[in-house]
A = this chain, B = another copy of it.
Amino acid sequence: MSVKAYIETNKERFLNELLDLLRIPSVSADPKFKSDVHQAAAFVKESLEKAGVDKAEICSTAGYPIVYGEKIIDPTAPTVLIYGHYDVQPADPYELWDSPPFEPVIKKTDSHPEGAIYARGSADDKGQFYMHVKAFESMLAKNQLACNIKFMIEGEEEVGSENLDLFVKANKEKLQADVVLISDTSMISMDHPSVTVGLRGLAYMQVEVTGPNRDLHSGTYGGAVANPINVLCKLIASLHDEDNKITIPGFYDKVEEYDLAYRTQLNKAPFEEEDYKKKLDIAETSGEKGYSTIERVGIRPTLDVNGIWGGYTAEGAKTVLPSKAYAKVSMRLVPNQDHREIAKLFENHLKAIAPASVKVKVVPHHGGQAAVVPTDSIGYYAAEAAIEEAFGKKAIPTREGGSIPITSLFQQELGLDPILMGFGLDTDAIHSPNEHYGVKNYFMGIETIALFFKHFSSMYGKKQGN
């Protein structure tokens, strides 16, 4: 029986195991889910053991633990380090979910005619990292594994992976590998499989504007005392100019301008603007002047307010001039922009432009560097070969708008360029209500990852002259 047949035979179990994992609400951002996050870590450890690793361990950190497991088939064989995360984004607003976020159900949709798993974390990233566990199990079971495998599955990706940094630095020896493989990105479509070769960085900030020392009656004081919400709106509005360029001094200093040839190549990726607008129900896309939608999310930095609040937000009307207003603002960064430097520029700028009538406090939440992955490595070639064998089509290299801050960590600390072979779709609604992940994507992913292990071992062996 081939590896493919093994996967086919075990389909139902592979799916049910994932559903069990999805039932654990491992929301790392919200302390009330603390025990659930730990429970998810224990689940992952057990899954690795069952799949056949030599040893698995739950490694404590100052935050949530990192689950590590390895199978060394031969110390001289090449090693694939797999990274993923078992924590998930908060599921609120719950009322916008068609089914409860932690009670997975399988439903058929236009994008997933063979069914999709609806649950928080189904695509990001439980459904995706779990494919690696199952691909590993399948290869091992069929005696086909020709490389060593190391798993490093963390629980703080959605809150900035702060403790992963220390862990990687302290465990360089243990994590030694020849490639890092990550499935936490998306493909263009099942008809256009792709490999992500660029990711944006992130600088996530919280802004607090304080006006008067207490909430005031807007009739008695309105017009004479600065309203922190009005001021916050002014500050935020001023961060983009008429061309939707970001106005923070120095923000673009290190942003690379690509030549026409590169931009033309980038814009050749399959993309239907009309279809994109229709799916989002928007009349127009909107972004930095002079760039296409693909460029705006791929090679240009951005600034978005992720949350804003202040004053009276419940039913009805309250005539209050509030004491405070808040916003969460994140900037997506491109290669060479340092997230710490950008965070500082943001803070300095906001404080410089704030009127004397209010006090402004800026707190950086977390950040990560942008990444560009070379396309001339064995890892990349192996990904291409695996995709071609599984999908019957050549992989398209794409640059994605999201951020996986730890990619630059692997480059710096382990000297490894990560291979970003994700199987999600943009329509999977990750970070949104009704997140889902195609059942077909799940099984195609398992198959493709198994093929990656095969091709990587084989190509690596050839390079070494074995």
Q: Could you list which residues of chain A lie within 8 angstroms of chain B, going by C-beta atoms?
A: 28-31, 89-90, 92-93, 96, 158-160, 186, 200, 202, 204, 211-227, 229-230, 232-234, 236-238, 240, 280-288, 293, 296-297, 300-322, 325-328, 330, 332, 355-358, 365-366, 400-403, 426, 429-434
Query: CB-CB < 8 A to A233: which residues of B?
Result: 232-234, 236-237, 305, 308
Nearest CB in chain B: distance from A308 CB, A:
5
Query: CB-CB < 8 A to A330: which residues of B?
Result: 218, 222, 317, 319
Q: Are A302 and B431 in contact (CB under 8 A)?
A: no
| Also in contact, A302 and B222, with CB within 8 A (given A232-B233, A284-B355, A431-B319) | yes
| Also in contact, A317 and B218, with CB within 8 A (given A237-B234, A296-B224) | no
Query: CB-CB < 8 A to A400: which residues of B?
Result: 219-220
Q: Are B287 and A224 in contact (CB under 8 A)?
A: yes
Q: Are B297 and A30 in contact (CB under 8 A)?
A: no
Q: Are B308 and A311 in contact (CB under 8 A)?
A: yes
Q: Are A225 and B29 in contact (CB under 8 A)?
A: no
Complex CA gap A223/B290 in Å reads 12
Q: Are A221 and B297 in contact (CB under 8 A)?
A: yes
A sample of 19 cross-chain residue pairs with beta-carbon separation below 8 angstroms, ordered by A number, consists of A29-B318, A200-B219, A216-B431, A217-B431, A217-B432, A219-B332, A222-B302, A223-B300, A224-B296, A224-B297, A229-B304, A229-B305, A237-B237, A284-B356, A306-B318, A306-B320, A308-B325, A318-B431, A319-B403
Nearest CB in chain B: distance from A279 CB, A:
8
Complex CA gap A182/B29 in Å reads 51
Counting every copy of the chain, the complex holds: 2
| Also in contact, A220 and B401, with CB within 8 A (given A96-B215, A306-B318, A319-B202) | yes
Interface centre among A92, A211, A318, A430 (most CB of B within 10 A): A318
| Also in contact, A307 and B286, with CB within 8 A (given A213-B280, A214-B429, A401-B222) | no
Query: CB-CB < 8 A to A212: which residues of B?
Result: 280-282
In-complex Cβ contact of A328 among B223, B283, B317, B429 (8 A): B317
